[in-house]
Amino acid sequence: MDLTYGDEYEDFRSEVRVFLASNWPPQGDESNAPRTEHEQRFRRLATEAGYLYRNVPRRFGGSEQPPDSLRAAVITEEFARARAPKEASGQGVSMLIPTLLERGEEWQKEQFIAKTVSGEYRWAQGYSEPGSGSDLASLRTRGELVGDEWVVNGQKIWTSDAMSCQYMFTLVRTEPEAGKHAGISYLLIPLDQPGIEIRPLKMITGASHFNEVFLNDARTKADWIVGRRGEGWNVSRTTLKHERKAIGGQSQTLFDTLMRMVRKATIDGRPALEDPTVRERMAALEAWVWAQRYGDYFQATCGLHGGDPGLLPLMNKLLSTEIGHEISKIAFDLIAEASLLEPLGKGGGRRGNERWMNQFMGSLGAAIAGGTSNIQRNIIAERGLGLPRESAADEAAHS
Amino acid sequence: MNFDLSEEQRLLESTLDGFLEAEFPVASVREFYDGDADLDPGLWKGLAEMGVLGLHLPETYGGAGLALLDLQCAAERFGYHATPGPFLGHALAGLAIALAGNEAQRERWLPRLASGEVIGSVAIAEADNRWQPEEWNQTLNDDGTLTGSKPHVLGGRSADLLIVGLASGELGIVDATQGQVTAMAAQDLDHTRRVATVEFTGAEVDRLPQGAAQSERLRDAALILLAADAVGGAQRCVELSTKYAKEREQFGRVIGSFQGLKHQLANLALDAEPCRPLTWYAAYAWDNVPNEAARAAAHAKSHVTDRFLQIARDTVEAHGGIGYTWESEVHYWLKRAVFDRTYFGGPRAHRRRAADLAGW
């Protein structure tokens, strides 16, 4: 066992630190620009330096670095320390690009990846339907090939940021005669067309990040399909794998943010951090965060050197969700009456501790989005512990 | 970067598993459990022959010269098999002398502790839950002898040598075979780890010169070994619960097909799995990262033993009525969980220490 990275990686760490010191946060005139602008500029520089979009070829706007999970870990650690932005958020970057790289046609990669990296193309994820949530493969949105176009009818829901996206990668039933999973294809659909109607859904936070997307004779070109007809389920598994990976491992940053708040909070006029109960809860929480961190190190080691990580890879999402929930409970208790305020900060008013209510509700969202916590428990019980599957019929369809 | 056990450490674990499955299976644990002994001589001899009793002691004194990370591998497997006996006390006694003793003390005791010929333990706790070095009050008589009482001494009736905690975090060696030392069986909950109350009536004490400087480090090692025991025990509980859920049928199907139980078992696994890397890190830090070792030990002990107790409770529940019987083995791990959680101080104490150590 050796947790040091070795000279090569410590040299690399120094290089990353020097880069960050001179580029983030923005200095002088640049710091007055809108945040999105200097984030974009920073991402361009960080990509040129080889720190971001490492798995994306240069010709598609990435930095095309050989896979090196230790360098990736150093970058993650140092960027987190400097609180510098990493790859742009959004489903296009986190889900579509990895999927296209693995399963896309050459022309699809050329047409879509670079513009997604640059932020010109933004993508919505068209998976869930009103009747198909956890049982996603039961989806009923239909696609028919008419001439050289797919004609798509149905409805998608929980479609994050669809209002600001130009395209949607979409699971559509194109082979109605085939089995549940085998009848699905993975289509790319332009959102700016008469056959698409997007209606925002207001969330419990009051914001409207997700939407309903209605497809009424929506059209897309015949070759805007990733993988072959009927392969969409497997193509989407590539993506979900990436989504799980992206969701896990955020707890240390969140813990640090909580700690900054705790240091400022008071209880009965005394610093909250002097309160024995608060100290105990923070210590108990930190132990969870450390357990997760060293579990991540172990999983990374198994990836590097071989070895069996056991059940841990099945638990990353649920563990993050549970830790996030505990963080929200501690924050909720400490912000006291600020929990009575809606966290949106309407009218440009100063935003205080009520912003923790976003985390309070967001931690609930995490238990639902990307596979609910109960589905995660099914996965641990069935794939991890080998308990009987929930539905033998589903099993048959899957295989 | 390599955060995994080495080939040798894996081999140590699998060798111990093989030995314990063959030589001390659940049937043997059950027999021991219903007896009065605090040590099984055959088992002790077997462990001594494998070199496990001196794993962490310097090679010059007959040990294997390995690290705490190696020793916690053994502790974890003992936890898994609910192995009875004073392994923890014995390991700590040797460690105390290796860390804090002078040359003469090491030469006199370590080879015989490593071979298992001398059985060691620690008499650390004092009444009113005083486990931590800064809480010890026991003083010596003017003539340097010891008069007083120490509760919760693991394997106290078998021990030939005791490391005694003294005021100001000092440590002393007491030869327990002298007439001024009497061990009385306690009404102990965990029959796999019998404890005694030891009375000292003018007993001779050989002080460890570096005792005050090393007693916290000794305590940290104890916390890590207790956490490791809990890791093994928690793993066994998850396995037992899962196995039972696959066999037991009700309403015409195996109960493991009911989502309610599946989710409980998934939660057990979610509690149990991350405990191992946390405990590994605590041992690694004890061996290699001085500035984080104490905090990591406190986190491992409080977190892992707390999880283990919950897992053990849920394991009894998952077994239904049979789990509530003396005859079923699951209560061994419930009681080991209580021991691991309480011995050397409970989660509350160590979380407060962790907060202090973090500089909060």
Give the pLDDT confidence score for residue A396 in this predicted structure: 46
Amino acid in position A37: E
Predicted confidence (pLDDT) at residue B74 exceeds the cutoff of 80: yes
Q: What CATH number does residue A388 fall under?
A: 1.20.140.10
Asked if A291's CB is within 8 angstroms of B278's CB, the reply is yes
- State the average pLDDT over residues A25-37: 76
Fold of B213-357: Butyryl-CoA Dehydrogenase, subunit A; domain 3 (1.20.140)
Give the pLDDT confidence score for residue B206 in this predicted structure: 98
Fold of B120-211: Butyryl-CoA Dehydrogenase, subunit A; domain 2 (2.40.110)
Cα–Cα distance, A111 to A104 (Å, whole number): 11
Q: How many domains does chain A have?
A: 3
Task: Report the length, in residues, of chain A.
Answer: 399
Predicted confidence (pLDDT) at residue A392 exceeds the cutoff of 70: no
- pLDDT 10s digits, A325-345: 999 999 999 999 999 988 875
Instruction: Give the bridge partners for B203, in sequence order.
Output: B146
Domain enclosing residue A60, as ranges: 7-87
Residue B142 tokens read as 């003017």
Give the pLDDT confidence score for residue A27 in this predicted structure: 79
Asked if A2's CB is within 8 angstroms of B267's CB, the reply is no
Identify the domain boundary among A199, A230, A261: A230
Residue (of B40, B26, B21, B38) closest to B193 by Cα position:
B38
Give the pLDDT confidence score for residue A81 in this predicted structure: 87
Q: What CATH number does residue A176 fall under?
A: 2.40.110.10
Asked if A291's CB is within 8 angstroms of B256's CB, the reply is no
- State the average pLDDT over residues A18-27: 92
Identify the domain boundary among A166, A195, A230: A230
Q: Where in chain B is the domain with CATH 2.40.110.10?
A: 120-211
In which band, very low, low, confident or very high, does the pLDDT at A245 lie, cut at 50, 70 and 90? very low
Do A171 and A142 reside in the same domain of the chain?
A: yes
HEC readout, chain B: CECCCCHHHHHHHHHHHHHHHHHCCHHHHHHHHCCCCCCCHHHHHHHHHHCHHHCCCCHHHCCCCCCHHHHHHHHHHHHHHCCCCCHHHHHHHHHHHHHHCCHHHHHHHHHHHHHCCCCEEEECCECCCECCHHHCCCCCCCCCCEEEEEEEEECCCCCCEEEEEEHHHEEEEEECCCCCEEEEECCCCCCCCCEEEEEEEEECCEECCCHHHHHHHHHHHHHHHHHHHHHHHHHHHHHHHHHHHHHCEECCEEHHHCHHHHHHHHHHHHHHCCHHHHHHHHHHHHHHCHHHHHHHHHHHHHHHHHHHHHHHHHHHHHCHHHHCCCCCCHHHHHHHHHHHHHCCCCHHHHHHHHHHHCCC
Percent of chain A with pLDDT over 70: 92
Do A103 and A77 reside in the same domain of the chain?
A: no
**Chain B, nearest residue to A285 by Cα:** B303
Q: What CATH number does residue A11 fall under?
A: 1.10.540.10
- Chain B CB contacts of A308 below 8 Å: none
Asked if B274's CB is within 8 angstroms of A319's CB, the reply is yes
Predicted confidence (pLDDT) at residue A347 exceeds the cutoff of 70: no
Please, which residues 191-250 of chain B have a Cβ atom closer than 8 Å to chain A? 238, 242, 245-246
Average pLDDT, chain B: 97
Give the pLDDT confidence score for residue A206 in this predicted structure: 83
Q: Where in chain B is the domain with CATH 1.10.540.10?
A: 7-115
Give the pLDDT confidence score for residue A34 in this predicted structure: 80
Do A210 and A143 reside in the same domain of the chain?
A: yes
Do A258 and A195 reside in the same domain of the chain?
A: no
Do A117 and A206 reside in the same domain of the chain?
A: yes
Q: Where in chain B is the domain with CATH 1.20.140.10?
A: 213-357
CATH match for B7-115 among 1.10.540.10, 3.40.50.11540, 1.20.1250.20, 3.40.50.10860: 1.10.540.10
Q: Which of A78, A87, A243, A322 is catalytic?
A: A243
In which band, very low, low, confident or very high, does the pLDDT at A393 lie, cut at 50, 70 and 90? very low
Q: What is the three-class DSSP state of A170?
A: strand
Predicted confidence (pLDDT) at residue A32 exceeds the cutoff of 80: no
Do A67 and A175 reside in the same domain of the chain?
A: no
Cβ proximity of B204 and B210 under 8 Å: no
- State the average pLDDT over residues B213-232: 98
**Chain A, nearest residue to B9 by Cα:** A1
- pLDDT 10s digits, B28-53: 999 999 999 999 999 999 999 999 99
User: Is residue A395 annotated as part of the catalytic site, yes or no?
Assistant: no
In a domain, A135, yes or no: yes
Residue A173 phi, psi (nearest 5): -85, 110
In which band, very low, low, confident or very high, does the pLDDT at A255 lie, cut at 50, 70 and 90? very high
Q: Looking at the complex, report in whole angstroms how far the Cα of residue B290 sits from the nearest Cα belonging to chain A.
A: 14
In a domain, A237, yes or no: no
In which band, very low, low, confident or very high, does the pLDDT at A318 lie, cut at 50, 70 and 90? very high
Percent of chain B with pLDDT over 70: 100
In which band, very low, low, confident or very high, does the pLDDT at A240 lie, cut at 50, 70 and 90? low
Average pLDDT, chain A: 90
Q: What is the three-class DSSP state of A159?
A: strand
Instruction: Give the bridge partners for A156, in sequence order.
Output: A213
- pLDDT 10s digits, A120-162: 999 999 999 999 999 999 999 999 999 999 999 999 999 999 9
In which band, very low, low, confident or very high, does the pLDDT at A239 lie, cut at 50, 70 and 90? low
Angle at B177 between CA B171 and CA B180, to 5 degrees: 75
- Nearest beta carbon to residue B277 from set A73, A298, A307: A298
Do A265 and A391 reside in the same domain of the chain?
A: yes
Torsion, CA A165, CA A167, CA A172, CA A175, rounded to 10: 180
Identify the domain boundary among A230, A258, A287: A230
- State the average pLDDT over residues A204-227: 94
Question: Is B280 an 8 Å CB contact of chain A?
Answer: yes
Overall pTM > 0.90: yes
Amino acid in position B164: V
Residue B144 tokens read as 């340097």
Give the pLDDT confidence score for residue B217 in this predicted structure: 98
Give the pLDDT confidence score for residue A29 in this predicted structure: 66
Give the pLDDT confidence score for residue A256 in this predicted structure: 92
Predicted confidence (pLDDT) at residue A189 exceeds the cutoff of 80: yes
- Chain B CB contacts of A70 below 8 Å: 1
Predicted confidence (pLDDT) at residue A375 exceeds the cutoff of 70: yes
Do A138 and A159 reside in the same domain of the chain?
A: yes
